[in-house]
Structure 1
Amino acid sequence: MNPPKIVNVSKALPPYFRETKDIIPLVELWLQGQEERFKRKVVKIFEGAAVDRRYAIMAPEEVFTATSFQEKNNIYVREVRKLGRTVLENALSAAQWEADSLDYIITVSCTGIMIPSLDAYLINDLGLRQDVVRLPVTEMGCAAGISGLIYAHNFLKANPNKRIALVAVESPTATFQLNDFSMANMVSAAIFGDGAACVLLSSEAGAPGPRIKGEGMYHFKDATQMMGFDLTNHGLKMILDPSVPETIATHFPDIIHPFLKQFGTQIGAVDHLIFHPGGRKIVQTVEELFGAMGKNIDDTREVLRLYGNMSSATVLYVLERFMQRNIPQGDQGLLLSFGPGFSAQRVLLEW
């Protein structure tokens, strides 16, 4: 049996982007009529978010325009189809795979609603086989990029000589609530950006890339209120509990050590940390925890700076940075993300 391997990771970005310093005047305009103290606090959140630039499926001026849920979601559907097609074509081209060689397609998104899901459109747009297996993953938030890797791994373990594309396309911009002045919406607006990533995986003999040595999920009990969306008449309203970093820190040893031990390793033997940049505070919390173990998450911090948090796609951007390097054989990498549920998703790689 050939171990499932990650063959390629590609990314695609939407056409609009702004530096954070250029978004702050729009934020100040949006907050006209609010108390001065509140406005200063929100601007500080943007300035201190550790995000220098973000990309979006619509112009920044459109983001701060009052539109209906239907109008924003229509933009989401139109642009997600474009981004999904582009990122899958990029990945297939880089791997020199034909679209009709795919046996399974997993699509991931939580920032809009479309039925049929993105995978159905990709089958038609790129000419995938009529018997390709589809799996849309829609309600797992930031954790879903790694969730998709876990589902792909399980399929490939059971099916030799198969190929999978995992396509994650997110637009948190499309969920921005113009009339929501909660701190959750402020933090969300300050840290999130839009983007797409595609991972190609294979269980074929001789497939290149690191192998998936192990994977697993860890579910926090009675923590469903910590992260997610409320579906309102105005769209998807962000739920983001300020205790998330503290909760992660409390559970961190239970999330990391038993998982690594299960697959015959430990944190000292892990060479590369591929962590989802949920936001500045979460990154700082995890950086301190890993730092105490002699590790760093420099690539995670850099992805947050360059793109913001793109929900499920973001950890795959971090993974892409490692895939571009000449990593020595035998090195291990740990992928880690957190998302609604509340849950942690983990994948152990070996080059």
Structure 2
Amino acid sequence: MPTDSCLPVALLSVAPAMPPHRLLQSDAAAAARRIFSHRYAAFERMAPVFDTAGIRSRYTVKPLDWYLGDLDWPERNAAYLEGAQELFVAAAGAALDQAGIAASEVDTIVTISSTGIATPSLEARVAGRLGFRADVERVPVFGLGCAGGVSGLAIASRLARARPGATVLMVAIEICTAAFRMDQLTSANMVATALFGDGAAAAVVRTGEDGLAQIEGAGEHLWADSLDIMGWKVDPTGLGVIFDRAIPPFAEERVGAAVEGILARIGVDRAAVDRFACHPGGAKVITALEATLRLGQGALDHERAVLEEYGNMSAPTVLFVLERLVRSGMPHRTVLTALGPGFTCSCLSLAA
């Protein structure tokens, strides 16, 4: 009989949610040309990113015209708060329904978000709408960026294991488009404008059940002196993206060894991994991950499909990939991976 510390944690459900406005990449490219081409000397050199990003459409909390206005930080954060609350309700409600669990049965909520400021935090703002108990434990986590979906699921699994039988809900929400900036004439801003969309995903975990899969373990690798690779800078207008170093070559050179180190620490044989489910940060990132993980070209097919349909939604995106794997039939062992600011690689192993 396993001890409490060794009890398996089951993933009971995973559910995505999208905001109401669908943005075609062709429309985003046309809008960028209208806004930037006459002000940004490097626009023609950067414009192909809209075609090479591997994105056909994205979803946004506001219609396209809203982003073209003269927006300040309060307006952007108000859009974040409004959109994030709606997505929280949609994603959490769907995940709880799938698991056959009422909101009143949730003991702990882990909320992952890095694209706006919410105090009180998001789960508190929607508690009444969803019906959480007054004694529910709240664990809001900020700053994980694109790694947040994997790291958040890892945090939720550890909390579930610490209290056998407790139901833990994890919700990852990002309103990346709140940081679309018309005033930033930089290559980083152009890449962000071509890549990011809004979305959310939720998952329910609990010990002692079969579920969709068992969470075997998780870990992270943080690279020293890598703060300049990805992050936010803050000014009176709002958040602005930091991409001071190219991510694809960094990923191809270093991620494979980092993943193997994490798997060794959690006791998972690399040869026993049937499928890597990766955060699709962009088309070039996916190709780099296939190379560094020694996968066949085109192996990350669900990742390319999610990127094409939804863009890079930061933290929730890898959970969209996982949801597709669940629908198509989970392999015996799947390892989730995501890269985020820090610069960090986060991994989590699932056994179906």
TM-score (norm 2): 0.94
RMSD of the TM alignment (CA)?
Answer: 1.7
User: 1:28, CA displacement in angstroms?
Assistant: 1.2
Q: Quick check: 1:279 aligned with 2:278?
A: no
Question: Mean alpha-carbon deviation: is it higher for 218-227 or for 257-266?
Answer: 257-266
User: 1:138, CA displacement in angstroms?
Assistant: 1.1
Q: What are the residue-to-residue correspondences of 1:1-351 with 2, within 5 Å?
A: 1=4, 2-34=7-39, 38-203=42-207, 205-292=208-295, 296-327=299-330, 331-351=332-352
Question: Mean alpha-carbon deviation: is it higher for 243-252 or for 18-27?
Answer: 243-252
Distance in 2 of aligned mates of 1:145 and 1:96: 22
In structure 1, give the amino acid aligned to 2:151: S
Q: Secondary structure at the match of 1:312?
A: coil
Unaligned runs of 5+ in 1: none
Q: Secondary structure at the match of 1:252?
A: helix
User: 1:25, CA displacement in angstroms?
Assistant: 1.7
Distance in 1 of aligned mates of 2:22 and 2:297: 35
Task: Provide Cα deviations, 1:147-175, integer angstroms capped at 9, x if missing partner.
Answer: 11111111112111111111111111101
TM-score (norm 1): 0.94
User: 1:293, CA displacement in angstroms?
Assistant: 6.8
User: 1:47, CA displacement in angstroms?
Assistant: 1.2
Distance in 1 of aligned mates of 2:211 and 2:96: 14
Structure 1 residues 243 and 294: CA distance shift in structure 2, 3 A: closer
Distance in 1 of aligned mates of 2:214 and 2:278: 18
Q: Secondary structure at the match of 1:256?
A: helix
Question: Mean alpha-carbon deviation: is it higher for 114-123 or for 310-319?
Answer: 114-123
Q: Secondary structure at the match of 1:65?
A: coil
User: 1:250, CA displacement in angstroms?
Assistant: 2.5
Structure 1 residues 292 and 209: CA distance shift in structure 2, 3 A: closer
Q: Contact 1:107 / 1:137 at 8 angstroms: preserved in 2?
A: yes
- The alignment-based identity, stated in percent, is 31
Q: Secondary structure at the match of 2:241?
A: strand
Q: Secondary structure at the match of 1:5?
A: strand
Q: Contact 2:9 / 2:209 at 8 angstroms: preserved in 1?
A: no
Q: Secondary structure at the match of 2:200?
A: strand
Q: Secondary structure at the match of 1:311?
A: coil
User: 1:19, CA displacement in angstroms?
Assistant: 1.4
Task: Provide Cα deviations, 1:272-296, integer angstroms capped at 9, x if missing partner.
Answer: 1110011122111112223457882
**How many pairs are equivalent?**
347
Structure 1 residues 41 and 335: CA distance shift in structure 2, 3 A: same
Structure 1 residues 130 and 207: CA distance shift in structure 2, 3 A: farther
Q: Contact 1:171 / 1:194 at 8 angstroms: preserved in 2?
A: yes
Distance in 2 of aligned mates of 1:292 and 1:25: 35
Q: Contact 1:167 / 1:199 at 8 angstroms: preserved in 2?
A: yes
Distance in 2 of aligned mates of 1:62 and 1:30: 13
Q: Contact 2:29 / 2:194 at 8 angstroms: preserved in 1?
A: no
Structure 1 residues 294 and 306: CA distance shift in structure 2, 3 A: closer
Structure 1 residues 278 and 89: CA distance shift in structure 2, 3 A: same
User: 1:44, CA displacement in angstroms?
Assistant: 0.8
In structure 2, give the amino acid aligned to 1:142: C
Question: Mean alpha-carbon deviation: is it higher for 193-202 or for 121-130?
Answer: 121-130
Task: Provide Cα deviations, 1:7-60, integer angstroms capped at 9, x if missing partner.
Answer: 10101110101211122221111114235x623223211111101100000011
User: 1:91, CA displacement in angstroms?
Assistant: 1.3
Q: Contact 1:14 / 1:56 at 8 angstroms: preserved in 2?
A: yes
User: 1:89, CA displacement in angstroms?
Assistant: 1.0
Question: Mean alpha-carbon deviation: is it higher for 335-344 or for 277-286?
Answer: 277-286
Q: Contact 1:273 / 1:296 at 8 angstroms: preserved in 2?
A: no
Distance in 2 of aligned mates of 1:289 and 1:3: 30
In structure 1, give the amino acid aligned to 2:73: F
